[in-house]
Structure 1
Amino acid sequence: MENQENLEEMENKIPCFILVGGKSSRFGDDKSKLFYKIQFDKCKKIFKNVFFVAKEKKFKKYPFFIEKSKIFAPIFALEEIIKKEKKIFVLSVDTPLISEKSIKKLLNNKATASKNPLIGYYDYTMLKKIKESTKTDLRLFHINPKKIRINNKELININKKEDLKLIRKF
């Protein structure tokens, strides 16, 4: 019962940020247009506050966090958001198969997905590691040491148009 109460408390307090700011160069078109509504609706069932993150507002009628960095790498958006919000949950728009159950599991454990460390929980205690990463390799894997295994099918990342065949199977 206590775990359920903790999760509900976190869901109401921690905002969710869905990254939609990539270039989509391998896809050839803005792939966020395909999945933004799916991801937003899924997250609104879990989180009170859900925002998209990009360098400019892409979808009217949806809340946005506009990132300032000119560099296309999630680590910079993560740094900006954590400085403002302190505790957050992050999801990428191009992983449409992740389930609500898996999102809640990551949130409740304050963890990231072991095979996709972008997806998961981050907080202000990780800012030092984030800052270090912005100066070196721009990687996220070592930022949150808590990792949870999520079914690989849920973490399918749509990068190319042929990847759409992978999600049609499920």
Structure 2
Amino acid sequence: MRLDELNCVILCGGKSSRMGQDKSKLKIKNETLIEFQVRKMSQWFKNVYVSTKEDKFDQKFTIIKDVSEFQIYSPMLALYSILSFFKNEFVFILSVDSPNISENEILKMFAFINENYKIVVAQTPSYKHPLCGFYHSSLANTCKEFFKKNEQKIGFLFSKVKTKFVKFENENAFLNLNFYEEYEKFKRELK
């Protein structure tokens, strides 16, 4: 199996409450953050999908909507909706607000998906990154069970499913743009 035979899904269905505005629509040079991420990930993956509660974009992205019967914001609901869309395959999941991920980090994680793991995610010295890694679609029902028990954090899966944490030293590669100051700093460093 090769990386370019797999699919990528970019998550952008959150509230962006800490940012104060929709992160996916933040401008980076002449494009939005979601356009930036889709363009970048399209270099390495077969298809790139966008996960969201509703199609809020002017561009034509292939959208995977959260299951509509539930009207809450939940990473577990998003993961359930995504994994239900695919059949018997690994999918790379990335949050829209992680713009520094490169092919090097993805390939290092990809090296573990042929083993017996169902989840392969990045881990830096300070944090496990549940929204940056590979998930097997067979986990959809497990996600649904957690969701129905009101266990909404993806980290709950790690104790129930064979998970590989791939260690990285470079925290900057896993930068999350949670606050406006972080976004401004990222834009300055892109120049």
CA distance in 1, matches of 2:142, 2:62: 28
**Secondary structure of the residue that 1:158 maps to in structure 2?**
coil
CA distance in 2, matches of 1:32, 1:78: 18
Matched, 1:164 2:183: yes
Q: What stretches of structure 1 of length at least 5 have no aligned partner?
A: 1-5
Instruction: Please provide the CA RMSD for this pair.
Output: 2.0
8 Å CA contact 1:17, 1:91 repeated in 2: yes
Q: Amino acid of the residue matched to residue 171 of structure 2? A: N
Runs of 4+ in 1 over 6 A off after TM superposition: none
Q: Where is the strand percentage greater, Structure 1 or Structure 2? A: 2
Q: Matches of residues 1-170 of structure 1 in structure 2 within 5 Å?
A: 6=1, 8=2, 10-12=3-5, 14-34=6-26, 35-59=33-57, 60-68=59-67, 69-86=70-87, 87=89, 88-110=91-113, 111-114=120-123, 115-127=128-140, 129-134=142-147, 135-141=149-155, 142=158, 145-150=163-168, 151-167=170-186, 168-169=188-189
TM-score normalised by L of structure 2: 0.76
Q: Where is the helix percentage greater, Structure 1 or Structure 2? A: 1
CA distance in 2, matches of 1:147, 1:125: 19
> Matched residue pairs, number?
162
